[in-house]
Each structure stands twice: as structure tokens, then as C-alpha cells.
A = this chain, B = another copy of it.
């Protein structure tokens, strides 16, 4: 699979690293693809870098892992998303992490879909820390990874990718379920940051 990454911070970096190690061709998109930082990231991960629009053009799957404040401008300056699987990892977090900038009357994922006409948006990977993406196993048990969207084939892609990374991938329903998965992410964030849990925790879905 050709996987473009828009937003190469901790989250995008971790996903790119894991996808690359899993055998996919990863491209980190950037406004400055030849910067030392981007070239270092690419070298470390066995990936390449390109301008954002070229990244999108060359990728069947695009991972969106931008800071919320940059998301609109990145999408609008990255060319044509028609037909692309766009895996939205963002959360519309307020800068002080006190809540979400967009409430459950809508969701970041739905806003993303409006900003990227034609994209087959899947919300996924948004509710675990990047360190959990790097290793989703806790004493051999897999962290749960929820995804949602309106396109079954696009969701299957997210499912496969999450499974490859070692997650217990779970379909959470249509894209409007991002109104649930984004607050779920807020829970993880607030426990990690505000409640002193640190980053080394995750949720397991236990069945009986």
C-alpha cells in the first residue's frame, strides 16, 4: 500500500514508522520535504518525503495527523482527495486540552469530510497515544482501536492497518460516531495529562 502521512509529529511519525516496518511504502508529506528534520524522519523510518500535494497524489491511503489548527489549511493546500482513503487521526482539541473545540453536535471527522470533497473518510487511531501506536501490547493483550466511517471498503483498510499494528480493531459505526470517538480520545488525553496517569495505559475491550 502507498501511504501518505500529512502531519509528521509524534502521531504521524509513529504511524509512518509502523506502517513502513509492516512493508508499506510510506511518504511523509510536508511543506518543506527537504528539511533536515523530514529527511531524518524518512531515513529513520525507511520512508520518503514529498510536498503535500505530491504525497496525496502518490498515495491511495492518506493519514491525516495534523494539529487541529493546521488541519483545514493542510487539507486545502494538498490537492485532490477524490477517491482517497483519508484516515483522520485528528482531534479538535482546545489548546489547553480542557475540551474539544467542536462539540457533539458535529465532529472533527465530519468537518474534515467537508473540507476534503470526495474523500472516503475513516476516523481511526485518534484515541490512543503515539506510544501506544508504537506498541499496542500490554502483557500480551492488545489495546482496542475504534474506527468509524460511512464507506465500508475504506473502513476495511483502517481495520487491516490497525490489525497489522497489533491493535484489536473494532468498527464503531458511521462517521457520526466520531462524535463519540473524539470525546473518547479526550478521556485518554485528560487521564494521561491532567490526572497523572502518564502515557503508558490503554483500554482493552474485554468480552465474556
Contacts and interface: CB of A to CB of B under 8 A. Distances in A.
A139 B179 contact: no
Count of this chain's copies in the oligomeric assembly: 2
B203 A204 contact: yes
A171 B196 CA distance: 10
Among A103, A180, A184, A195, the one with the most B-chain Cβ atoms within 10 Å of its Cβ is A180
Contact of A206 (B138, B186, B187, B195): B138
A205 B99 CA distance: 21
Given A99-B104, A138-B208, A172 B200 contact: no
A173 B190 contact: yes
A187 B191 contact: no
A208 B201 contact: yes
Nearest to A98: B176
A190 B180 contact: yes
Nearest to A186: B180
Contacts of A138: 206-208
A65 interface: no
Contacts of A208: 138-139, 200-201
Contact of A187 (B103, B139, B181): B181
A139 B141 CA distance: 13
Nearest to A135: B208
B205 A177 contact: no
A100 B138 CA distance: 32
Interface of A: 98-100, 103-105, 138-139, 141, 143-144, 146, 170-173, 176-177, 179-184, 186-187, 190-191, 194-195, 197, 200-208
Closest 7 CB pairs of A and B: A183-B183, A138-B206, A103-B103, A103-B104, A204-B204, A203-B203, A103-B105
